Every structure is written in structure tokens, then in C-alpha cells.
Copies of this chain bind each other. A is one copy, B any other.
Amino acid sequence: MSRDDKNDETTLSPRAREQRERILAAAQHCFVKYGFHAASMANIAEAAAMSAGLIYRYFPNKSSIVLAIIERQSEMELEDIRALGASTDPVDALMECFVEWSRPRPDMRIMNAALFLETSAEATRDKQVANAIHHADELACTEFRQWLEKPAEEGGIGMSPAISERRSLALMLLVEGLAVRAARDPKLDTELLREALAEVVHKLMEE
């Protein structure tokens, strides 16, 4: 969370912000394609159409880029979850997630299954990543609970906190399992998946 003031988004010139964005997009592309470790700064530089040296004007080192990507990714996850709550049919929202995550070249979207899994694995080894992830997960979990507890008069289910605690966890397992599936079997029969999801999700939303 604590960023170098130099790169603090609030004090960045438009140009600098633009460049950072370009680099992050390139990095995201390369990380998806090769993985965090296998992607080289040269790969990223090429994808960003700039020299490798220039990247270091905007990021102090490679791992800060990784971290920035992880933070961005976490934000996307949160948005996904919010979309899930906002959608008429949560199953549709989940399916959309699956399809997007398993797309071979998700250029436009930060969230990507392989990245998500690698990030999760990295949390096991890198304290900084672990912290970033933990924070993101807390937000995600809260979001799930608020969704389940939203009163009926607001169009929600109005689940009791005692139950929502368990159910939100179950939902997280499901969503994260979806990410694993997206990576391991991107060609999974979507109809079958939809049915399976529909069943579980509905069971989980009953009081």
C-alpha cells in the first residue's frame, strides 16, 4: 500500500500516469502469457514498446510491477464480486467471470485465472504479496456478506449474519474454484457448469 511518493498516483503527471499504465498493461499481458517469474523485463519493455531502462523511471524494480498488478487484479476481483451482487442473476455473473478468466488473451481485463492462481501461490512465499492478498480477501468477503445480508425490502435476501458468515465463505470457495477450473479446463462445457452453479448458488442463498 505504501507507495513511493514519486509514483504516488495523486502527484503523477498525466504523462507519467500514462506511461505507468502502458507498462502495467504490457506487464499484465506478459505475466498472463509467461507467468510472473518467466516474464522478463525485456518482454515487458517490448510489449510496452519502450526500452527496458525506461521502465525503471516509473517502477523501482520488477517486483513492484508484480505488486501493482496484484493490486489492480484485486480491485477487479472486487468489482467482479460487486457485479455478482448487482446482477439480476448471480449465476450469469459467475458464468461471465468464468468465460472471461479462461479467455486465452484477455487483453482488456486485468483479472485472469492463471494470474490469480500464480498470485495466490506467491502469497505462500512473499510476505508483501500475502499482505496485499489478505487485504483484498477481506474486502471480498465483506462484499459477499453484505450482499447476502441485504434486507429483503432492498431487493436482497436478508440473510442473518450468523448464516452469512458461513455462506460467504462457501461462495468464495466456489468462485475461487471457478478460477481453478478456468485455468485447468477452459473448454469446460458451459451449460453443465451453469447448471451446477445454479444449483449450488441457489442452495446457498436459501436461509
Residues of A within 8 A of B (CB): 32-38, 113-115, 117-118, 120-125, 133-134, 137, 165-167, 169-170, 172-181, 183-186, 192-193, 195-197, 199-200, 203-204
Residues of the B chain whose Cβ atoms lie less than 8 Å from the Cβ of A200: 170, 173, 200, 203-204
* Contact of A173 (CB < 8 Å), options: B120, B165, B167, B177: B177
Shortest CB-to-CB span from A138 to chain B, Å, is: 9
* Contact of A125 (CB < 8 Å), options: B114, B125, B176, B186: B114
* Contact of A120 (CB < 8 Å), options: B36, B167, B180: B180
Residues of the B chain whose Cβ atoms lie less than 8 Å from the Cβ of A173: 173-174, 177-178, 180-181, 196, 200
Residues of the B chain whose Cβ atoms lie less than 8 Å from the Cβ of A113: 121, 124
Residues of the B chain whose Cβ atoms lie less than 8 Å from the Cβ of A165: 192
- How many Å lie between the Cα of A203 and that of B207 in the bound state? 13
Residues of the B chain whose Cβ atoms lie less than 8 Å from the Cβ of A117: 117-118, 120-121, 180
Looking at chain A's contact residues, the main secondary structure is helix
Residues of the B chain whose Cβ atoms lie less than 8 Å from the Cβ of A34: 125
* Contact of A192 (CB < 8 Å), options: B35, B166, B197: B166
Residues of the B chain whose Cβ atoms lie less than 8 Å from the Cβ of A38: 37, 125
- How many Å lie between the Cα of A203 and that of B197 in the bound state? 13
- How many Å lie between the Cα of A149 and that of B122 in the bound state? 38
- How many Å lie between the Cα of A114 and that of B196 in the bound state? 26
Are A167's CB and B184's CB within 8 A?
Answer: no
